[in-house]
Amino acid sequence: MEILTDAFYLVIEPTTLLVIVAAAMYGLMVGAIPGLTATMAIALMVPLTFYLNEVAAIAAIVTAVTCSIFAGDIPSALIRIPGTPASAAYANDAYALTGQGKHRLALKLALYASVAGGLLGTVLLVIAARPLAAIATQFTSFEYFWLYVLGLCCAIAVSDRGQARSLFALTLGLLFSTVGLAPDFSVPRLTFGLNELINGISFIPAMIGLFGISEVLRVAVTLPQRRPHSGAPSAQASAQGSVQASTPEATVGAASFVFGRKWALIKSSSIGGVIGMLPGAGADIAAWISYAVSKRSSKHPERYGQGTTEGIADATGANNAALGSAWIPALVFGIPGDSVTAIALGVLMMKNITPGPQIFDFAENAQQATLVVCLYFTFVLANLVLIPLGLLAIRTGGLLVRIPRAILLPAVVLFCIVGSFSIAASYVDVWIMLAFGCLGFALERWGIPLAPIVLGLILGGPLEHRFLQSITVANSPLAFVDSLISVVLAAGCVIVVVLPWWSARSALR
């Protein structure tokens, strides 16, 4: 009890609160700029944490990440460039809503669902850290292999344009992921003699190109000169929509919609929470899987991909829930779940705190225990602070849709360039972005969905790596289904792929 009150006072100290608000604004800004990821936001903050005490340092990191993952939804809804890869799963839905003039609704929905998901993820972190960590230790390369396959199957299952096209897009993404020098091999592959490609194709410039530049090209070719408003259908619609959506009902509507979906959100947040804790999987896969689950259980699966409100709510809830549980392996074993917690661990160690099972021994080490409780409080506070600041960000971002396309598009082009350049200050990434922009433009004309390409790019490397690891260790093919978790995950893959077929067939009858 004493620990609780101690921690509470530490967190509500004025400096800490100030740090939380500042970190929230910073996180929102970085997350909203395409190309700048949550990892980068945190890496840039590290020198600042040298000046802060440990509570404020943790608060700054937690808040900035929470806010930047939500902020990734803002550009993905407004200009169809996912701010972070976690938003790619539902980028088309959010953008479709903007096209219908409902960008405020889409973003408020994302905001409230993010907050709800974040809070539920925190609850999971508080009550289930130990048992969940026990599951996480049982993940060998086989289980990871199946988890990645499940993620890929979900991308095929959620397709709204036919499974064949999704499969094609996914294979394309996986194929792109093999370019360059992989950790498993000593020779670079598919670089076609270009030394620049030894690094592989990084998925952030690819994602910016696929979604951002291709959309710019699509609008540009239909844009009549001198009359900026009449060309793009979405510009027209949003001009009317922004008036209508700013009425108070929209706010109430979004909030009550999210509340009405509380069971679905609890489900998707649990999915997000469990996947988020596995090192290396994280928020990106969580968003995909819960989007697929959401579509499966929806009464309106046909709206998915065309501007579904349900799918957006569930998937954003899941990716925010994943953030909290990413700390589980970090705190319990000192193994970071993602690059963000890796940096956070470094900061913790600098402040003389060693993660490990003993960190939960509240009687043993009161100082560390207090800090863990502070971490919980910070998660709650970060999510609460996100509501007012997020609404402000949505309002500011909403101004974007009123800017005439002829002015907005060049600015988007510039941001795409800077966003892809800034990851590694490399021109190769700008060329990659441009190439993928042209590719995305062409593929969309042929009705091929783009989001699976991004997932393929992200999961391709780890999938191959875990597969090779598995067959190196395995004595027989049966080793792939040797453990309970493997069997469950493999069965999940089969269900996800077969069920839509089967239900479609029985519906025909």
Partner 1 sequence: MKVGSEHTLPPTACVARAFRQYALLAVVFSLVFTADGVVRASDYPNRPITIICPWAAGGGTDRVSRRMAFELERKLQVPVNVINATGGKGVTGHNRGLKSRPDGYTLTMMTFELNTMHWMRLTDLTYKDALPLVSVNEDYAALLVAADSPWQSVSDVAAAIKAAQEPLTASGTAAGGAWHLALAGWLDSADLPAEKVVWIPSAGSSPSLQQLVSGGVDMVCCSLPEARSLLEAGTVRALGVMSPERAVGFEQVLTFGDQGDSWTLGGWRGLGLPLGTPPEVVAKLRDTLEAIVSAPASQPDSFAAFMQQQKFDSTWRDAEEFEQFMADGDAKLGKILQSEALAAVSEDRFNPMLYPSLLFGIGLISAGWCFVSRAAPTEIPAATADASAGDVAIQSTRPWNAILCIASIALFALVAEQVGFVIVSIALLAALQILLGTRPPLAILVAVILGPAVYLLFAKALRVGLPMGWFGW
Distance CA 234, CA 228 (A): 12
Cβ of residue 263: shortest distance to partner 1, in angstroms?
28
Q: Which is nearer to partner 1, 363 or 425 (CB)?
A: 425
Q: Is 104 or 465 the residue whose CB approaches partner 1 more closely?
A: 465
Rounded-to-integer distance, Cα 347 and Cα 419, Å:
27
Within 302-341, which residues bind partner 1 (CB under 8 A)? Answer: 302, 305-306, 329, 333-336, 339-340
Q: CB-side exposure of 11: number of CA atoms within 13 Å?
A: 23
Q: Which of 215, 199, 318, 222 is nearest to 270 (CA)?
A: 318
- Choosing from 437, 451, 453, 489, the residue that interacts with partner 1 (CB under 8 A) is 437
Per rule CB under 8 A, is residue 80 in the interface with partner 1? no
Backbone angles phi, psi at 189, to 5 degrees: -115, 150
With binding defined as CB under 8 A, does residue 298 bind partner 1?
no
Instruction: Tell me, residue by residue from 345 to 384, as one string, x for binding to partner 1 by CB under 8 A and - for no binding.
Output: -x--xx-x-xxxxx--------------------------
> What would the DSSP string read from start to end of 286-348?
HHHHHHHHHHHT-S-GGGTTS--HHHHHHHHHHHHHHHHHTHHHHHHHS--SSHHHHHHHHHH
Q: Binding segment for partner 1 among 77-85, 112-120, 269-277, 412-420 (CB under 8 A)?
A: 412-420
Among 114-122, 161-169, 363-371, 389-397, which window interacts with partner 1 (CB under 8 A)?
Answer: 161-169
Letters for 177-216 (x = contact with partner 1 by CB under 8 A, - = none) are: -x-xxxxxxxxxxx-------xxx-x----------x--x
Question: Rule CB under 8 A: is residue 402 a binding residue for partner 1?
Answer: no
Q: Which is nearer to partner 1, 263 or 446 (CB)?
A: 446
Contacts with partner 1 in 438-467 (CB under 8 A)?
Answer: 438, 441, 444-445, 447-448, 462, 464-465, 467
**How near is the Cβ of 330 to partner 1 at its closest, in Å?**
9
Contact between 296 and partner 1 by CB under 8 A: the answer reads no
- Fill in the amino acid letter for 249: E
Region binding partner 1 by CB under 8 A among candidate stretches 106-114, 115-123, 135-143, 492-500: 135-143
CB of 1 to partner 1, least distance (A): 27
**What span, in angstroms and rounded, lies between the C-alpha atoms of 75 and 408?**
13
Among 132, 312, 417, 458, binds partner 1 (CB under 8 A): 417
Residues in the chain: 509
Amino acid at 392: L
Unique residue bearing structure tokens 């396959």: 149
Residue 247 has φ and ψ, to the nearest 5°, of: -70, 155
1 touches partner 1 (CB under 8 A): no
> Torsion-angle region of residue 438: left (phi > 0), alpha (psi -120 to 50) or beta?
alpha
Q: Least Å distance between CB 61 and partner 1?
A: 12
Which of 21, 384, 469, 497 lies at the binding interface for partner 1 (CB under 8 A)? 469
Q: Cβ 384 to partner 1, closest distance in Å?
A: 26
Query: Does 253 participate in binding partner 1 (rule CB under 8 A)?
Result: no
Does 167 contact partner 1 by CB under 8 A?
A: yes
Question: Binding of partner 1 at residue 267 (CB under 8 A)?
Answer: no
CB contact set of 70 (below 8 Å; sequence gap of 6+): 28, 31, 110, 111, 114, 115, 316, 320, 386, 390
- Residue 17 burial by CB count (10 A; 0-12/13-18/19+): exposed, middle or buried? middle
- By CB under 8 A, what part of segment 9-38 binds partner 1? 30, 36
Q: Kindly give, in sequence order, each residue whose CB lies less than 8 Å from that of residue 507, ignoring residues fewer than 6 positions away.
A: none
